[in-house]
Amino acid sequence: MLLAVVGQCFVLLSVICFVLQLRHAFSRSLGTGFMVLFIPLFPLYYGFVQFEHRRKGLIVAGTWGGLMIGVVLRILGTVHYGAA
């Protein structure tokens, strides 16, 4: 159960970092913002190539690393909780 809660915190971190990227994309242009929002894998491209922020590395790592770690911990927490 604790792993699922910690995983949810990582997912929340990922969402917050993604919102920062999304805000930057919409400030750049309306079309870019909608592409980041609706086209799969385009946020990954945008984060590495077009996103400009002084903390770019932390934000991109928080978005994708937080998502991956969060999903894995949520799965492990759910499987462990279901087995008990």
Q: Which residue reads 């945008």 in tokens?
A: 46
pLDDT digits (tens, 9 = 90+) for 24-67: 999 999 999 999 999 999 999 999 999 999 999 999 999 999 99
Q: List the chain domain ranges.
A: 2-83
Q: How many CB atoms lie within 10 A of CB 23?
A: 11
CA pseudo-torsion sign 4, 58, 56, 48: negative
Q: Are 69 and 75 in contact (CB under 8 A)?
A: no
Q: How confident is the model at residue 83 (pLDDT cuts 50, 70, 90)?
A: low
